[in-house]
Chain A
């Protein structure tokens, strides 16, 4: 990317009306050093789409928390072979994990909450990876967690992970897609998927923090189900900001 982007707010309006493939095309055209975050679940559609748009530009990474299902490890390998691509598997700092396990054991998330473990096992390696790219792509969708994801934009200026004094752009091409649309794509394009989906897992994360959900449950109920569904409340309510 040559310039310091692009008004992401204006672009979000334009891109929101476009298909995930169009958004991905735009992202891959704008940035040379751009990577797709692949969680080993249905966000594989991004890998498939990007591969069809610009196979030579596909850079994929996965966060290996050390607690994934063995099915997910096998699946990541399957995707690597299917598309013949490199998948950069990134790991947490062993010292930080050691400290957590020494002080709080292997299942601290059941006693405290999942944030400490997730920040060490996911956010740490994610940050290290993102310091090496100019833009990244996630499979985050609004329908995954109605409370916190309602406002997921298609493109955003990612200040949290940007290198000091530089910018990092985040694309969420599936933001406006529903789970049904994702699965229709997987089926009609014969995209390989994680075998756990056939066993009732809708949302797939780490093994101790993921469980299958029933047809009437929201997929969020399959993650950290022992915690109360509390929403973080730090946004300034728009209605109250004087325009």
Chain B
């Protein structure tokens, strides 16, 4: 299995907020050691490796994880806690999961 993390650099040159948060979590938990490659999707450069992958797999969110397993179709994971649970088989905290869902779907607070 090969895991690639794609992080986004925004038009103003800064790293996207969620990319920073996910990077911090990966570092704090040691999960970063399970990531084989980190690529940058630079919004200022459509040819940057991360932008190419985003385009190839039609991904509209960052950060995301590309998971490639032998003999299987590549998987894209845009939800960090699901990636941790389903790919890394590790535990996550419910409160973190709920916050991530709301942050990724800010309209849900309107319900």
Say whether A6 faces chain B, with CB atoms less than 8 Å apart. no
Selected from B46, B85, B104, the residue in CB contact (under 8 A) with A234 is B104
Question: Known interface pairs A116-B99, A164-B86, A232-B103. Does A122 touch B109 (Cβ–Cβ under 8 Å)?
Answer: yes
Kindly state the separation between the CA atoms of A47 and B54 in the bound complex, as whole angstroms.
Answer: 38
Query: Does A124 make an interface contact (CB < 8 A)?
Result: yes
B62 contacts the other chain (CB 8 A): yes
Give the one of A63, A238, A241 with max B CB within 10 A: A241
Q: Give the CA-CA distance A164 to B106 in the complex, in Å.
A: 22
Interface band, chain A: 35 or more
Binary contact readout A145-166 vs B (1 if CB under 8 angstroms, 0 otherwise)? 1001100100000011100110
Query: CB-defined interface of A122-153 with B at 8 Å, one 1/0 digit per residue?
Result: 11101100000000001010001100110010
Q: A119-B101, A160-B104, A243-B55 in contact; A203/B110 too (CB < 8 A)?
A: yes
Residues of B within 8 A of A56 (CB): none
Interface centre among B41, B78, B111 (most CB of A within 10 A): B111
Evaluate whether A120 and B98 lie within 8 angstroms (CB atoms) in the complex, with A145-B110, A233-B17 already known: yes
**Interface residue tally for chain B (C-beta within 8 Å):** 40
Chain B residues positioned under 8 Å from A203 (CB to CB): 110
Instruction: Enumerate chain A residues within 8 angstroms of B109, measured Cβ to Cβ.
Output: 114-115, 118, 122, 205, 223-224
Contact of B38 with A by CB under 8 A: no
Interface string of A73-107 (1 = CB under 8 A from B): 00000000000000000000000100000000000
Give chain A residues whose Cβ lies under 8 Å from the Cβ of B82: 159, 164
Within 8 A of B (CB), among A27-61: 37, 39
A-B contact count (CB 8 A): 112
| Complex-state Cα separation, A122 to B99, whole angstroms | 11
Task: Report the Cα distance A79→B103, complex, angstroms.
Answer: 31
A74 to B50, CA, bound (A): 52
- What CA separation (Å) do A187 and B109 show in the bound complex? 27
The segment out of B8-16, B24-32, B66-74 that lies at the interface is B8-16
Taking the complex as formed, is A199 at the interface, i.e. its CB lies under 8 A from any CB of chain B? no
**B40-68 CB contacts (< 8 Å) to partner A:** 41, 43-47, 51-52, 54-55, 59-62
A233 and B10 contacting across the interface, CB-CB below 8 Å: yes
Given A124-B94, A233-B17, A234-B16, A160 contacting B79 (CB threshold 8 A): yes
- Inter-subunit contact B101/A160 (CB<8 Å): yes
Interface centre among A114, A123, A124 (most CB of B within 10 A): A123
**Contact call A236/B8, Cβ cutoff below 8 A:** yes
How many Å lie between the Cα of A234 and that of B43 in the bound state?
11
Does A215 make an interface contact (CB < 8 A)? no
Q: Given contacts A120-B98, A164-B86, is CB(A37)–CB(B106) below 8 Å?
A: no
Residue on A nearest B52 in the bound complex, by CB: A242
Q: How far is the CA of A165 from the CA of B86 in the complex (A)?
A: 9
Give min CB distance, A198 to chain B, whole Å.
21
- Ordered by A's residue number, 15 sampled pairs between the chains whose C-beta atoms are within 8 Å are A114-B109, A115-B99, A119-B98, A123-B102, A138-B111, A148-B106, A160-B79, A161-B101, A232-B106, A234-B17, A236-B60, A240-B45, A241-B54, A242-B51, A242-B55
